[in-house]
Chains A and B, each alone.
Chain A
């Protein structure tokens, strides 16, 4: 839900337009507040079996074309003139419920929806009923965790980050990768949130699995464009992942056993009245154990990851509720004398408070930590590297359902970041003989925002708002200046606690929805985003050793401006829908390492950076069937993503690696029999833009490849078909189980994971191109259970 109020808006003189925006906002609000006497119906929408709140579910009064959604906590409020109404409650995969309500005063009404035949329907939904037609959201997709489990996946390990890659405008970093690009942006330009906590590295096993254990998740929402003002900090997208609260009605256990990983989740009510619940969920891979069974070569190999999710919540009366949630995951990778170890930790404490039927608030304290270690140990000599980033974040969000025409949201947050770019130690015979630690950096990132969704007429709805963000670097730190040769010219030392540099950004957001008729609508959107954190990487694929680096006096914040336009059509029975969205995004202050940057132990890292700009644009088409025996979608994206840096490619524009002109996904699920369902997913995309050699030469006995230009070549096009079969065993009392067979890359397409250039093994006097394909046909079997 979107909404806002002016009380927390503090003008900053440096920011133009701000006063005029505030005046405009209040004018809009004032005009629309002149209403007849209203009463409000409010409450939570829940799953009838587990008591889980249903997020972004629909609540509407069709007779007067009044529709709202539950917020990210399942709370709704709808203001209406006094009277008798038929109110419809609906959510994807659940049987809708229509209640006859005589509304003469403010009324609290919690509603439970049951899942019936609809369970076999939608896989991924970009809407709830016809909400997508009516609301102002553009470039937004919501993922149903339950139904996404039917899509065939690599190694049978369900992964929401791979499922969203099947949506238009979203594509994988590389084969099998959990990393993703959104509308031509870079991977670090996606804000990934788990229960509001940022996850700085959302992948396991060097990117092949995400940190999200589907068993512990409730809802996923991806904002590709039209990002609401409550979100800030990344310029490409926001992926908002919400964990389950746990079953508040009865204890429940679920889990799965797969080829390389197993999962177990336990849920239980905290009291008999259903006032609270607890969920614990864990997952552990055992790829190394499987390998050892195949070959003695891996006797000394350790390779696994594990993660653990926990969440508890409790209602203290009707108005207050406390949530505690956390995630802890680590990867451990030791191969002979080389070791890598990295992981994320997040913790969130939240307090929901209902001031009255119209005003809902959430206050959160969030901790997030990402760290990694790298070590080499040989012949008694060792080198270790440790690095990381951690955050403390305090935030408050308010939903104010002001009147039938306006629902507002406002709030603030403050994040204290600490960056640990690197600590290196050299050991000899087990004793540390030298340590070098690059100076840590600290920063405070703040944001205040307000927005409003305003229904101007039966057919026209507006969303408008803004976010004001600031970023302050805090001492102690030595700020250096550099000459044109990238050599330090001078420096200024700042004491502990000194705010030595502050930058601010004004981020307007706006969108509009116009209903052309009952089945189609036109939408337009604009948003500006500021990004103050930058992932410095000299790798084409991303590794855990990439460094998160703050904006500084030299490194400016990245800025993204996105314009989008969309047409949405829904067939009368709501079974089929079609959408086309176009977008143009400009990117400022893009950051990269210069060619040959010295990134190891470099105290002058900023001197190795170059700055440029980017542009991405495209059109996304989607046809989707929401229900019936056969469901699924076809998506097609036509797009371009380009960059320009004065110091790269002679200053000429070049294609970003993720510039994939054509990107197609076809996803189908079919109910073959009451207990047997089949699924298929076919993907195709243009090969990545890459740099291939244009010649070679010899230096010091080695053949060196010669390059000209950046990303002027293409990898071969990528395509793949996956199939899945799920058999649901007959239920016995509360025991349910299913067996899932997934076949990844059914026609064994040898997609190029990389192309390298080496001297020929058979004729060392020749050089040749070597294509490496990572995955051939990969079958997998997973058994899932619950009771």
Chain B
């Protein structure tokens, strides 16, 4: 899909989709998978140009990210924060609000959880301490989105700019908090105090997969159902697809705007908390995985559909876990994953254009 700021075309309601029946489904599959294959070929050419055999690279990625037992467990664990972020972005994008401040909200949530978790487990039962840490992370992230939300709701200030600016501030603030407020005095590494492994989110069965994965899946399915099956979700979609119709229909657009920002940022904060309380255990200074920015393309690829987003988040997870490992062995920068994702996006826009053109000429 073309990345444009008017979301009207992107947010057709679910019931309107299956109209074309089977042929339409096939077309959509081709339209989604075709660009990905094309992108793999182009990325392969780039790898060739830097002297790496693309087949070896893709082989490593698949082997490490998908096939090896340890790799696939890492992949599934990595999905947890990405799913929360995707859920938050789906709410915002479907409502026509471009919350690009996910990284700042994520980090502030992470730092809040990292500060509260190890502190609270000292007096509270572990489950209650974790719940409190989650709630605190959500609240802090929500608070961080309040300024862009108010500016957009009452002054019409473009939220793309304000949320991006707030993300820079948020990243720095998170750093400051780690280095000044919540610094662990017992280590020389600048980081917060570490949540003991046994107090973290339980692992699933006998694997190393964090149960955060389950929470993430629940979150994204819940968001999907909320957007497609409830009155609240429909109201948000009306605001997103035609704000003037929302006013005409008597919806309280400013209130809904603030709610959208709160939900979106809250989920980003939860993403941070789930990564800390499930996997990392602490926040190191200058840590910023920039997950939110990487998830945005996935949400677009999924056309803001929650179930499709699960699939694409899995793909991103495989690419990033496998890519990190392949990078170490082949000397390709591990940011190459992002290069691959962006080529996919460009190919997708090209496919969209060709499809559109094709439909137009067919009608004529």
Whether A associates with B in a native complex is no
A interface with B by C-beta (< 8 Å)? none
